[in-house]
A and B are shown apart, each in its own frame.
Chain A
Amino acid sequence: MDKLTLDSIDEMTHLDQLEAEAIYIIREVAAESENPVMLYSIGKDSSVMLHLALKAFYPEKPPFSFMHIDTTWKFKEMIEFRDRKAKEFGINMIVHSNQEGIDQGINPFDHGSAYTDIMKTQALKQGLDKYGFTAAFGGGRRDEEKSRAKERIFSFRNKNHAWDPKNQRPEMWKLYNTRINKGESIRVFPISNWTEKDIWQYIRRENIDIVPLYLAKERPVVNRDGQIIMADDERMRLEPGEKIEMMKMRFRTLGCYPLTGGAESDADTLDAIIEETLGAVSSERTTRVIDQEEAGSMERRKREGYF
């Protein structure tokens, strides 16, 4: 007869359930996929993903590499954080940039949506193809955007890395199908079912280190079309009439500094961030400049291979 210990009758909290689901998925991919990689974007979701990967295989190290697609326009603090974490955990961190794009001087000021395509989407495809990765973990969450809400946890991509929303593989129970033909790949989203609030609560519960840019601090910023953009280095270009001011502010998402809007905030501790998130009046993606085009823009980009 089973011993009914106190442990065994404790109901799991919803964070425990989300963690268990993510770990199950990460282990399935490691066991079944030929050459998986975990994409690492240095943001809070990536920090949670890295933490989950470390927990999933303990006492072993994660049996796959991590890859950062570097547009060369990330915040300085992000790059410093990435290198520090890779060293601290002893993981293999691949950094890939689109060298052609760099050589052509592609930048977020002059090239708009072409910049995102060349330095992010194309760079990602290059990186995946270069190393022949058959499965790539991503930190996408279904609460971020409407087309993500309909994407499977195991999202199949054809040889051109394109997603076909009308022909998704049925995903039943926990029986994930990782099989692909040569040249095809899958994107795997272990934290699909987490919300922004879950991410923050988990970061607090697990004491996960995050890039300090998430915490409010006095920073040099420019107010551009209602977005608060940080002047992170000397490459920041000012429009006529703009001037750099100091503001106590923080970021809800992190990306390329000229394209990432922050918000005025006093939340300089995790608890304050969580309180701010719980009472948030805007959803997270309003601070991403590229999402605010027309309806369905994210779905269109993903069909073309955006992560």
Chain B
Amino acid sequence: MKSLLKFITCGSVDDGKSTLIGHMLYEAKLLFADQERALELDSRLGSRGGKIDYSLLLDGLIAEREQGITIDVAFRYFTTDHRSFIVADTPGHEEYTRNMAVGASFADLAVILVDAKKGIITQTKRHTRICALMGIKHLVLAVNKMDLVGFDTKIFDEIKEEFSRITTEFQFESIQVIPVSATEGDNITKKSPNTPWYKGLALLPYLESVDVHSNDDVKPFMMPIQRVCRPDHTFRGFQGQIEAGSIAVGDELITLPSREKAKVKRIFVTDQDRNSAHAGQPVTIQLDREVDVSRGCVFTKDNDLQEADSFSATILWMDDSFLTPGKDVLVKVGTKVLPGTVTKINHKIDINTGNTVTADHVVKNEVAKCEISLSDGIVFDTFEKNKSIGGFILIDRVTNMTSACGVIDEALQSTDNADRIDTEITRDVRAQQKGQQPLTLWLTGSVADNSALAKEIEKRLVSRGYHTMLINNSLGESVRQIAGYATLLNNAGLIALVLAGTTNGNDQAIAQEIIGQAFLPIDVAVNSNSIQEAANAAVKIVVKALIQV
């Protein structure tokens, strides 16, 4: 049977990635006839004067056709006589770095394109860095458009040399530099007569033969538990995919974090009873005794795995919102999901140059070194040693978006979360922790009339995940006092709802001065036929204000 190679292509917009893959599929006769016909038809209507536009095969989304660029990862599948391939074509723009990272996280090898006329550019360096961060070990640098530089060996050698300089800081296991022309087909499926000085294989034959086999199967046994299988009271098995090493019936293993020892009684590889199993296989393992193990625990034969409740990590931030210290997240490592907090941003790493940049916040598509603390201990390993329990994602607790991905660098010694936050605890930090902006809703009008409405508004805000506090001025305190209380609540990161009582314009001005930017007056008497409608209207105003703050 054939093996499978998962690879990505990356390069900037005009480097011709889509053209490269399209040409490979076309020349290797890997297209269905109807796809080929559609391609020839589409090309006739296109901008390339009737010459076949191979990129049309890959840019599938409507928005991409409109803009003529690749936004998201497109997966393509093909098989040659020697190997099966899955190729992810990834976008080159810096603003789509996260989409490129998605492709890279899935691949064994990356084909990075450069334009021979332009040489190594900033994007080449960025793509190389992302590939390294996501754990890719094998690279191909395709020096494209060689036809436009007259197949000049000097230009090729210079690019090759510079690439070797920029890759020395990473631990790539193999790097192949190939001179190609994606539009003309040189060194795509067969050696080109235009580059007699190039001694290596053409791109496709190289991809068919490159060895990307990891050494996962000779490492010590390790398996994160996905679920406990209990069809009836007589059987209790642990299901998961073996991530490293092998296991056989009779072997002793260690459960983490409970650190119990047990012997393997029975192994199912899917539904087959087997004597042994190895890395990559989905299994169900039955043990010879009861152990305290559930989803998120890890089976191992190795005592080197670490356990900690805080670690330092390198992350790629992928969310539209900013990351600031104090951000509450869910952390998924292996099969374990835990609440946690990004306690500290050590510094950013310039994704183009690798330089360290000091920072108090991180925005989308930036890479940063930071510290993360968890509500409980987790079993992990460094990403270098064990990808499956060394990589993680951060999930936003309010939106549920996958906000970041990262790799664990090392465990931190302290186990006390409170000790780990080294920034000053400001109003912003408290608000960030609650995932909201502080706001004071200043409801004017009779307290007696409005208290039911205020409660209704508060219920709606809380059900939307906001943290609130209601101040009812039933004792008739002064505007200054009430505004002072509201400010205090805002400083705690809360949304304050104030039933201010009957006030005049001057009172409002005083309140606004004390409360500042967070002040939001709501005149509830206007247009309110019922409490429900008034509450809905008020919540709309609040949500709008929260977005704008």
Contacts and interface: CB of A to CB of B under 8 A. Distances in A.
A19 interface: yes
B220 interface: yes
B227 A31 contact: yes
5 contacts: A9-B278, A11-B213, A149-B60, A166-B63, A195-B79
B485 to A, nearest CB: 32
A61 interface: yes
Nearest to B36: A281
Contacts of A32: 337
B248 A24 contact: no
A181 B396 CA distance: 12
Most chain A beta carbons < 10 A, residue from B35, B134, B400 = B400
Contacts of A179: 330, 395, 400
A31 B318 contact: no
Given A2-B301, A54-B271, A282-B33, 7 more contacts: A3-B246, A59-B271, A147-B61, A171-B102, A171-B105, A193-B86, A296-B61
Contacts of B402: 169-172, 177
A8 B267 CA distance: 14
Interface string B59-84: 01111010000011111110100001
Contacts of A192: 75
Given A2-B218, A5-B276, A193-B77, A173 B284 contact: no
Interface string A283-307: 1001000000001100110000000
Given A28-B226, A175-B392, A8 B217 contact: yes
Contacts of B195: none
Nearest to A20: B282
A180 interface: yes
A111 interface: no
Contact of A283 (B32, B102, B387): B32
Interface string B85-121: 0100000000000110110011000000000000000
B280 interface: yes
Interface of B: 1-4, 32-35, 60-63, 65, 71-77, 79, 84, 86, 98-99, 101-102, 105-106, 134-135, 213, 217-218, 220-221, 226-227, 229-231, 235, 237, 239-241, 245-246, 248, 268, 270-271, 274-282, 284, 295, 301, 318, 330, 332-333, 335, 337, 387-388, 391-393, 395, 400-402, 405
Contacts of A114: none
A192 B88 CA distance: 13
Contact of B231 (A19, A24, A28, A59): A59
B401 A173 contact: no
A286 to B, nearest CB: 5
A55 B239 CA distance: 11
B282 A56 contact: yes
Nearest to A142: B75
B268 A11 contact: no
A193 B74 CA distance: 11
Given A150-B72, A172-B391, A59 B268 contact: yes
A30 interface: yes
A3 B218 CA distance: 10
A199 B173 CA distance: 33
Interface in A145-182: 146-147, 149-150, 165-166, 168-175, 177, 179-181
Contacts of B332: 175, 177
A204 interface: no
A214 to B, nearest CB: 19
Contacts, number: 193
B91 to A, nearest CB: 11
B36 to A, nearest CB: 9
5 smallest beta-carbon distances between A and B, as pairs? A146-B60, A13-B1, A8-B246, A14-B4, A58-B271
A42 to B, nearest CB: 22
A282 B79 CA distance: 16
A176 to B, nearest CB: 8
B220 A7 contact: no
A76 interface: no
Nearest to A15: B1
Interface string A251-290: 0000000000000000000000000000011110010000
A242 interface: no
A89 interface: no
Given A58-B271, A59-B231, A179-B330, A168 B72 contact: yes
A21 B267 CA distance: 19
A129 interface: no
Contacts of A197: 79
Given A16-B280, A172-B393, A11 B227 contact: no
A239 interface: no
Contacts of A61: 231
Nearest to A52: B270
A2 B221 CA distance: 8
Chain B at the A interface: mostly helix, strand, loop or mixed? Answer: mixed
Nearest to B34: A282
Contact of A60 (B62, B221, B231, B277): B231
A23 interface: yes
A20 B280 contact: yes
A282 B35 CA distance: 8
Contact of A175 (B34, B237, B393): B393
B101 A172 contact: yes
Contacts of A180: 400
B399 to A, nearest CB: 8
Contacts of A168: 72
Query: Most B CB atoms within 10 A — which of A13, A56, A280, A282?
Result: A56
A16 to B, nearest CB: 7
A296 B34 CA distance: 16
A241 B388 CA distance: 63
Contacts of B275: 5, 7
A223 interface: no
Contact of A173 (B99, B217, B279, B387): B387
Contacts of A84: none
Contacts of B337: 32
B35 A58 contact: no
* Max chain B C-beta neighbours (<10 A), residue from A20, A28, A58, A59: A59
Contact of A170 (B282, B388, B405): B405
Contacts of B282: 19-20, 23-24, 27, 55-56
Given A175-B393, A177-B395, A282-B33, A56 B99 contact: no
Contacts of B79: 195, 197
A12 interface: yes
Given A2-B301, A8-B278, A281-B34, A55 B105 contact: no
Given A14-B3, A281-B34, A5 B231 contact: no
Contacts of A150: 60-61, 72-75
A225 to B, nearest CB: 16
Contacts of B220: 2
A57 interface: yes
Contacts of A2: 218, 220-221, 245-246, 301
Given A169-B402, A280-B32, A60 B230 contact: yes
A283 B35 contact: yes
Given A11-B3, A19-B270, A172-B393, A166 B231 contact: no
A17 interface: yes
Given A60-B231, A283-B35, A177 B101 contact: no
Nearest to A180: B400
Given A149-B76, A170-B101, A197-B79, A283 B218 contact: no
